[in-house]
């Protein structure tokens, strides 16, 4: 197995291998030996950098949350200036990402939450923070769209953002079951084209009153 003088190389290779295997197989079905083999490092090196598999999982969750943050920033840098158009652009980019993936593994946060939220409080806390950061970023976009009159304002932006998270994660689950990104597109079309739309102004002439 290849060795390196770079002290950050082995932990980075381990976390990259772990994220890949956890995404494809899940946490419980992935062993330390598989991770080190996939990373191309000796098995003993794992415990030189991580106290346990749980600590390793927390590190991967944190790494994944940072990846989501960087991805979101890159999308926002390329998004249209109009608030609602920017929201549509972000979701179009995320759906395109899943369409490009040969293995439609879904979201690591959602996958880990199903496996680890009750088994590991450390993982649960990391997953919660990653989820909240995603929702806060979207809520900020929704607030700008509400201020521009492009999104309904009768519900607070954080409430709408939380509902979108729930819808998105549920659609990702269906995507894995059906092996199709159609649930993502159908669900987000309902959210963006219907749920988010401001109420139509009242039409017609109001009835007259007798004096």
pLDDT tens figures, 75-105: 999 999 999 999 999 999 999 999 988 777 7
CA distance 87 to 142: 8
- Model confidence, pTM: 0.86
Q: Are 95 and 175 in contact (CB under 8 A)?
A: no
Domain 54-195 indexed as CATH 3.40.50.300: no
Whole-number mean pLDDT of the chain?
90
What integer pLDDT is reported at residue 201 of this predicted model? 67
Residue 9 class from Cβ within 10 Å (0-12 exposed, 13-18 middle, 19+ buried)? middle
| Confidence band for 73, pLDDT divided at 50, 70 and 90 | very high
Enter the DSSP assignment of 45.
G
In angstroms, the CA 187 to CA 170 distance is: 9
Please list the residue range(s) of the chain that carry CATH number 1.10.357.10: 54-195
Distance (Å, whole) CA 59 – CA 156: 33
Q: What local confidence, expressed as pLDDT, does residue 1 receive?
A: 45
For 183-200, how does the pLDDT look when each residue is reduced to its tens digit (9 = 90+)?
999 999 999 999 999 987
pLDDT above 60: residue 209: no
pLDDT at 61: 94
Identify the CA nearest to 111 among candidates 29, 188, 38.
29
Q: Domain 8-50 has what CATH class?
A: mainly alpha
Which residues make up the CATH 1.10.10.60 domain(s) of the chain? 8-50
> Is residue 123's pLDDT more than 60?
yes
What is the model's pLDDT at position 58?
95
| Residue 148: band (very low, low, confident or very high) from pLDDT cuts 50, 70, 90 | very high
């Amino acid at each position: 197995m290849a060795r390196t003088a770079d002290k950050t190389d082995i932990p980075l290779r381990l976390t990259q291998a772990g994220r890949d295997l956890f995404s494809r197989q899940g946490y419980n079905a992935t062993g330390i030996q598989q991770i080190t083999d996939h990373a191309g490092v000796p098995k003993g090196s794992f415990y030189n950098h991580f106290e346990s598999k749980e600590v390793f999982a927390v590190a991967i969750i944190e790494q994944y949350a940072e990846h989501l943050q960087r991805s979101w920033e890159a999308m926002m840098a390329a998004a249209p200036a109009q608030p609602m158009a920017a929201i549509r652009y972000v979701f179009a980019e995320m759906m395109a990402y899943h369409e490009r993936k040969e293995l439609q593994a879904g979201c690591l946060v959602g996958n880990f939450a199903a496996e680890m939220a009750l088994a590991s409080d450390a993982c649960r806390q990391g997953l919660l923070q990653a989820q909240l950061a995603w929702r806060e970023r979207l809520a900020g976009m929704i607030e700008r769209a509400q201020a521009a009159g492009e999104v309904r304002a009768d519900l607070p932006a954080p409430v709408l953002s939380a509902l979108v998270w729930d819808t998105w994660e549920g659609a990702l689950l269906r995507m894995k079951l059906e092996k199709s990104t159609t649930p993502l597109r159908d669900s987000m079309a309902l959210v963006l084209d219907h749920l988010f739309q401001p109420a139509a102004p009242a039409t017609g002439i109001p009835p007259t009153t007798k004096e």
